Chains A and B, each alone.
Chain A
Amino acid sequence: MMHQGHSKSQFVAVASIAAELSAVMNVAKDISLAAANAKAIAFRAGEKAKGFQPITDFINELAKDTIQLVVIINQKALQLYQLTIREHRLAEACEQFENAVALCDAATYADSLTQSLVLVRQRRSECQRQFPHLVAELLALLSDVMHPARAARVIAANSRIEASQAGEYMQSLQAVAESVDNAAQIIHDKVQQCRSALSQIHTDAYFPSTKTFS
């Protein structure tokens, strides 16, 4: 049953996207925490960390933006998962109805199955049409979420410079800059993994290994 292999790879890809997104969300929350921590340190440092104070607000904004985008991406990923389940069920129904047609050749009411088979094929085709559009939307959103991650890396670089002028607070603020930089790198990597998994589905959806119905 070829559609099972096809659907299985889709299920695995969509599940792995959900796992990566969950990690992105956690890292974004860590950034938000780091921003709050940095703000407290900068406040205590007073004049010595004057240049650092506005940076903490930027860090916090970037974390918020990332979290908001991940929430939207999660919703889209859930839609993609539901569409995958629907397509899988319809593919199974097509196959089972065709088996029933083959088994009931002499049945009095064999023709009555035709309408159900046509309807299931139509619904499956509709799913297959929707699939690449939804994947494209997700890819675009994942591209968007890379922007705050890139900006966070720039801010981390600036933070290091500002931290170096903060006297006895230098070490604490450099640690903040370091954690933002690491978090941004993790988000970048996780989102790349999502895009890679999605691109695989994208390819499969446009060039399905299973037979399609007109």
Chain B
Amino acid sequence: MKMHKIYQGGHEWIMFGRDLHKPEKIVDTNQYLVRSADRCLLIDPGGIELFAPMLAAVLHHAPVHEITDLFASHQDPDIISSLGLWDQALPHAKLHAAGLWEGFLRHFGCETIEYVSIPDNGGVISLGSVELQIIPAHYLHASANFNLYDPEAKILFSGDIGAALETPNTPIFVDNFAAHVEKMRYFHQRWMPSNQAKRAWIERVRCLDINILAPQHGRMFKGDDVKRFLDWFEALQVGIAV
């Protein structure tokens, strides 16, 4: 599991992914850790197959008892099927996830972790000195779906928006946007069902000051590539399977 610090200020953002040892047929995923003075948030902690390498990687940055919060952008197995194992490792942690998905996510095992339901209009996750805004991104692609925005670090964790399914050897940032477009096109057209939802999300996100757009698969977007992505996504017709 590779680790990259993508923000260092009063707190830290660390990106985990590009696991060369993952089972061949499962998609590569990006996980993120936000570390404040004494608390950590794990964003989309990943699938059950990646639990051990992910936990081992996190232990380079934080002790187990400081991982106080988990966030699941939606219900997919590559996002949170490891929940039952985190439930055994972090008995006092909280899981922030959509209220709509609670009865479904609990199938993964959630006996000791506290399930904090996120309402449809989003909310805030507080890590003491750090506050992250929960941004609604419904139907992109899941029916209840959220992003996380850090106004201090100017990072938007965008879940499957901006994702590309690539090999574990892929660089962590987009370096040639024009070339990257084709790696994203089909994924967004097929997985994202609603042009209306897409437009609402773009309108909401254009109001944010974003330096890094961090998806759950593939490369992150930095600087001008963030605007390039929003413009490209705005013009893209999605929901092509019907």
Contacts and interface: CB of A to CB of B under 8 A. Distances in A.
Interface stretch (A7-15, A73-81, A94-102): A94-102
B84 interface: yes
A113 interface: yes
A108 interface: yes
A177 B143 CA distance: 59
A1 interface: no
A112 B53 contact: no
A116 B64 contact: yes
Interface string A88-128: 01101100110111011001111011011001100100000
Nearest to A110: B59
Given A103-B52, A103-B53, A113-B55, A93 B89 contact: yes
Contacts of B119: none
Contacts of B61: 108-109
Nearest to A120: B88
Interface string B66-91: 00000000000000000011001111
A119 B61 CA distance: 22
B88 A113 contact: no
Contact of B60 (A96, A108, A115): A108
Given A112-B65, A113-B64, A116-B64, A100 B88 contact: no
Interface string B32-61: 000000000000000000011101110111
Given A104-B59, A108-B59, A96 B85 contact: yes
A99 B52 contact: yes
Contacts of B85: 92-93, 96
A107 B88 contact: no
A100 B55 contact: yes
A17 to B, nearest CB: 23
Contacts of A90: 88
B84 A89 contact: yes
Secondary structure class of chain B's binding surface, majority of residues: helix
Contacts of B60: 104, 107-109
Interface string A158-172: 000000000000000
A192 to B, nearest CB: 35
A97 B63 contact: no
- Which of B52, B60, B84, B109 counts the most chain A CB atoms within 10 A? B52
A123 B59 CA distance: 23
B51 A96 contact: yes
B200 interface: no
B208 interface: no
A192 B59 CA distance: 52
29 contacts: A89-B88, A89-B109, A90-B88, A92-B85, A93-B84, A96-B51, A96-B55, A100-B51, A100-B53, A100-B55, A100-B56, A100-B59, A101-B56, A103-B56, A107-B59, A108-B60, A109-B59, A109-B61, A109-B62, A109-B63, A110-B59, A112-B59, A112-B64, A113-B59, A113-B64, A113-B89, A116-B64, A119-B88, A123-B88
Interface of B: 51-53, 55-57, 59-65, 84-85, 88-91, 109
Interface of A: 89-90, 92-93, 96-97, 99-101, 103-104, 107-110, 112-113, 115-116, 119-120, 123
Given A100-B51, A101-B56, 11 more contacts: A89-B109, A96-B51, A96-B52, A97-B52, A99-B52, A100-B53, A108-B59, A108-B60, A109-B60, A109-B62, A110-B59
